Amino acid sequence: MKPVEISKGIYDVGVNDWNIKDFHGYSTPYGTSYNAFLVIDEKIALIDTVKSEFADQLIDNISAIVDPRKIDYVVSNHTEMDHSGALARVMHRIGEEKPLYCSKMGHKNLSQHFSHDWHYHPIENSEELSLGEKTLTFLETRMLHWPDSMFTFIKEDGILFSSDAFGQHYAGFEKFDDVVGHTIMLHAQKYYANILMLFAPLIQKLVDKVRQMGLDIKMICPDHGIIWRQSPGKIIDAYVQWSRHHTEHKAVVVYDTMWHSTEKMADAIATGLYEQGVRVRPMYLRKWHRSDIMTDVLDAKAVVVGSPTLNNGLFPTISDFLTYMKGLKPQQKIGGAFGSYGWSGESVKLIQQELEAMKFDIIEPGIKSHFVPDTDGSNTAYEFGKKIGQAIIASGD
């Protein structure tokens, strides 16, 4: 990808990673991008780098604009290696003596990732660095989503470089929200659900803080995916809504199945939910990636989980999913458990325990089916779905 001038004197010199399909356990069918930004003024700054294997592309992109040795400052908003992997190569090319701006935790973390004795400049929150006509302001955003995370803001242009926040795993030549269109919101939702959901209280505080500071944000440049130039307010509003755990009249029925019995129960439960006016999707865990399921969990009011009993326990895919979901801390959900069994039948109790540990509201005891659900068994599952559906509608969300 060639550099793109996103605003006067400001270039995205990052790269597309077209072929990555699994980003540390998150499915990325559209690949991703590692965005990095060059700000040209009387002084020149590079904001963030890219994954190590794309270092040459980044240096080529910078060189298409300016001799890399003319860069005066390097800013690292976040240490994770998809944004710092190329740092050693880039610093070598730019000049090891150039100041490297980062948060105090960034200094600590970068020092633990790289053995180079660079000229670190750990910032104070809200510290400014003048480049001439443009000023970089550094804003600490601890735990969004690493302790080292920070934003960089150019007040004269109203541009926020937001690191991972507001990002999407999406590779494309199209670099802006108005070019890609509304479909980008689904990628943003997936990103939030799988990376940021657990930090919801911090996101609310951050948005409040940014609003109090009165930053006039005209453009948001995340380190992944498209740049929000037409509607930066739209993605901020979405983050506010998601971080408040807003839900729809919607349920997710997640299951695995050995001989289609738990699947029959899932279908009957989903039918019962649907007939109460709830949007619902049965999601078979061997066909749906857990990160796609979490995208739906984000704004669903109920999560109903089904597993056959295998070796006196849960099916492994269900254990995997429950562990993953627990870490992301979804809140204010109704939970339900179901499953078929042959002789011991522990799976339903185990699922319910996990959902209770996540503080899900268990409004109906879980249901079991011995071997294949007969007509009565299917009716029980249908009624189970109906009752959860009624509770979703009654919740008023």
Q: Residues with catalytic annotation?
A: 24, 78, 80, 82, 145, 164, 191, 224
Q: Does 296 bind ligand FEO (CB under 6 A)?
A: no
Closer Cβ to ligand FEO, 40 or 171, answer by number: 171
Copy the structure tokens of residue 296: 């739906």
Cβ at position 295, least distance to ligand FEO in Å:
17
Q: Does 17 bind ligand FEO (CB under 6 A)?
A: no
From CA 288, how far away is CA 134, in angstroms rounded?
A: 46
Closer Cβ to ligand FEO, 81 or 207, answer by number: 81
Determine what percent of the chain falls in helix, strand and coil, rounding each to the nearest 5: 40, 25, 40
By the 8 A CB rule, do 181 and 113 touch?
no
Cβ at position 78, least distance to ligand FEO in Å:
6
Q: Residue 22: name the closest of 31, 9, 11 by CA.
A: 31
Q: Does 140 bind ligand FEO (CB under 6 A)?
A: no
Cβ at position 155, least distance to ligand FEO in Å:
25
Q: Does 386 bind ligand FEO (CB under 6 A)?
A: no
Cβ at position 101, least distance to ligand FEO in Å:
18
**Residue 326 burial (CB < 10 Å; 0-12/13-18/19+)?**
middle
Q: Residue 325: name the closest of 176, 154, 198, 138 by CA.
A: 198
From CA 125, how far away is CA 140, in angstroms rounded?
A: 6
Which residues, at least 6 apart from 331, have a Cβ–Cβ distance to it below 8 Å?
200, 245, 359
Count of residues of this chain found to bind ligand FEO when the rule CB under 6 A is applied: 8
Closer Cβ to ligand FEO, 83 or 264, answer by number: 83
Q: Among 78, 249, 264, 301, which residue sits at the site for ligand FEO (rule: CB under 6 A)?
A: 78
**Binding piece for ligand FEO, criterion CB under 6 A, among 75-83, 92-100, 179-187, 387-395:** 75-83
Closer Cβ to ligand FEO, 164 or 364, answer by number: 164
Element counts in the chain: helices (H) and strands (E): 13, 22
Which residues, at least 6 apart from 134, have a Cβ–Cβ distance to it below 8 Å?
9, 39, 41, 154, 156, 157
Q: Among 51, 83, 107, 187, which residue sits at the site for ligand FEO (rule: CB under 6 A)?
A: 83
**Binding piece for ligand FEO, criterion CB under 6 A, among 74-82, 261-269, 328-336, 348-356:** 74-82
Fill in the per-residue mask, 141 to 160: x = in contact with ligand FEO (CB under 6 A), - = not in contact: ----x---------------
From CA 145, how far away is CA 78, in angstroms rounded?
A: 9
Q: Does 223 bind ligand FEO (CB under 6 A)?
A: yes
Cβ at position 169, least distance to ligand FEO in Å:
9
Backbone angles phi, psi at 343, to 5 degrees: -140, -40
Q: Does 41 bind ligand FEO (CB under 6 A)?
A: no
Q: Does 80 bind ligand FEO (CB under 6 A)?
A: yes
Copy the structure tokens of residue 343: 């002789």
Cβ at position 221, least distance to ligand FEO in Å:
13
Of residues 159 through 198, those in contact with ligand FEO by CB under 6 A are 164
Closer Cβ to ligand FEO, 226 or 391, answer by number: 226
Q: In which order are the strands placed within the sheet that holds 219-222?
A: 128-130, 135-140, 150-154, 159-163, 219-222
Q: Which amino acid is at 57?
A: Q
CA neighbours within 13 Å on the CB side: how many for 384?
Answer: 31
Which residues, at least 6 apart from 249, have a Cβ–Cβ distance to it below 8 Å?
277, 278, 279, 301, 392, 393, 397
**Binding piece for ligand FEO, criterion CB under 6 A, among 55-63, 76-84, 99-107, 335-343:** 76-84
Closer Cβ to ligand FEO, 94 or 195, answer by number: 195
255 strand-pairing partners = 284, 306
The whole-angstrom distance between residue 371's C-alpha and the CA centroid of its chain comes to 39
Q: Among 12, 41, 82, 299, which residue sits at the site for ligand FEO (rule: CB under 6 A)?
A: 82
Sites of contact with ligand FEO (CB under 6 A): 78, 80, 82-83, 145, 164, 223-224
